[in-house]
A and B are shown apart, each in its own frame.
Chain A
Amino acid sequence: MSEDPQAPSALALARLMLTRDLKLASRKASQLVQPLAFFAIVITLFPLAVTPELAKLRHIAPGVVWAAALLSSLLALEFLFRDDAQDGTLEQYALSGRSLTGLLIAKTAAHWLLTGLPLALMAPLAGAALGIPNAALPGVLASVTIGTVTLSLIGAVGAALTLGVRRAGALLSLLTLPLEIPVLIFGARAMKLAIAARPYGAPLTLLAGLAVLGLTLAPLAVAAAVRINLE
């Protein structure tokens, strides 16, 4: 693209974007804590509402953990591009002469690190609280880790498309939730198999396949949607 020797390399650029978003997040931690607190609260509601018996909870745990993860990732999405759109940062990215697609991938990666990964790390704890046996917890961790990658990517497309909409929350969930249903199905399936101490590689592979599909298609859609919103 630009042969300017002064321009930072793609790698340096990705690092710049990541450190920027990590620093920004550290200065407004409430945005990060909110989705995690929401996740924890939803998880605790089930033993209260359904039954405190671990044997029964264990039965519904995969569905509960995944539905909670899905909703809480949705909560985090609103912040993905909103601030950058409002203060003109996205405009500067679009006019930087660098690949907007690349910049937005880096941004989405930072978003996953800040919201998807913490959620994945919390999932085994939530699972343990819902009576999932310790032996199955690696399966829980793997399923949520891989699944949230796809959630971040699909979510990024939705967030970019709804940039121009005020109070985009409801529209965002309408757009993204139907697309995220395969993640929910395979994610919960992997967890269920892990709990039953059966091999759960197949649904995990499908989850990974979805993540790769998202990784190839979503960045292009995100960049196109952002461009349309800037016009």
Chain B
Amino acid sequence: MSDSTLKGENVHLWRGDRHVLRGVHFSITGGHCLQLTGPNGAGKTTLLRTVCGLSYPEEGRISWRGTDVRADLPAFHAQLAYLGHEPPLKLELTARENLHYWVGVRRRLSKAGIDEALERVGAARWADRPVRTLSAGQKRRAALAGLTLMRVPLWLLDEPTTNLDTEGQRLVGRLIDEHLAEGGLAIAAVHHELTVSAQGLRRLELQL
């Protein structure tokens, strides 16, 4: 995966008459995490959604491994995992069932694989409770378990540490570190510094 490069060149995007992304440039390669910072409304979420192809930039391009991601979006999507503000979980299902139906769309999962992922984020004890009864932090952990289960090189994370306790925030750092060690890439929009090892960390600050 060492040849994986994600590049954004001169990305412009308007929301109505607001020029949210004004010529954003970035480039990261395997083993690196790009930490997106900036005040509320600076366009961190917008940039993440643009990178994963949910929003169309008016100008500029996003390229993955040298080719424009628009050329084959499904193939690009198969390589990325996006975690938004809200964990994409069904309240009526248990954490385990959620992983089965959510990540199961992408790849075949074994029971052991799901168990291991739940164990990794410290969710084993409450994995069989309906998500409705879980705290916001527990939901976030369940979502992180889903992220690790996807086994994709590119992680796009919007506020991954929201609602997590200090141990949970370190867990996010640890998961990203392990992901980078395997040659993966990550972009994370954050308000608090990630606890990621310094040599893999790149920064991009968006201005209002």
Contacts and interface: CB of A to CB of B under 8 A. Distances in A.
B102 A89 contact: yes
Contacts of A230: 54
Given A8-B104, A16-B104, A96-B105, A2 B82 contact: no
B82 A231 contact: no
A199 interface: no
A87 B54 contact: no
Interface stretch (B18-26, B89-97, B162-170, B194-202): B89-97
A8 B102 contact: no
A88 B84 contact: yes
Nearest to A86: B86
B88 A88 contact: yes
- Which of the listed residues A27, A103, A230 has the most CB atoms from chain B within 10 Å of its own CB? A27
B78 A92 contact: no
Given A2-B74, A6-B107, A89 B92 contact: no
Interface string B73-87: 011111111101011
B77 A96 contact: yes
Interface residues of A, number: 31
A28 B90 CA distance: 12
Contacts of B81: 95
A98 B105 CA distance: 8
Given A24-B90, A24-B92, A87-B89, A95 B52 contact: yes
A105 B53 CA distance: 22
Contacts of B14: none
Given A1-B74, A231-B54, A8 B82 contact: no
Contacts of B106: 7, 96-98
Nearest to A1: B74
B51 to A, nearest CB: 11
Nearest to B106: A96
Contact of A23 (B55, B97, B102): B97
- Which of the listed residues A88, A89, A94 has the most CB atoms from chain B within 10 Å of its own CB? A88
Interface of A: 1-2, 4, 6-8, 12-13, 16-17, 20, 23-24, 27-28, 83, 87-89, 91-99, 103, 230-231
23 contacts: A1-B78, A2-B78, A7-B78, A8-B108, A16-B104, A16-B105, A17-B105, A28-B92, A87-B88, A87-B89, A87-B90, A89-B90, A91-B54, A91-B84, A92-B102, A93-B105, A95-B53, A95-B80, A96-B77, A97-B74, A97-B78, A99-B74, A231-B55
Given A92-B105, A97-B75, 15 more contacts: A1-B78, A7-B106, A7-B107, A7-B108, A8-B104, A16-B105, A24-B93, A27-B92, A27-B130, A83-B90, A92-B82, A95-B80, A97-B78, A98-B106, A103-B105
Nearest 6 CB-CB pairs, A to B? A97-B78, A88-B88, A97-B77, A27-B92, A6-B107, A20-B101
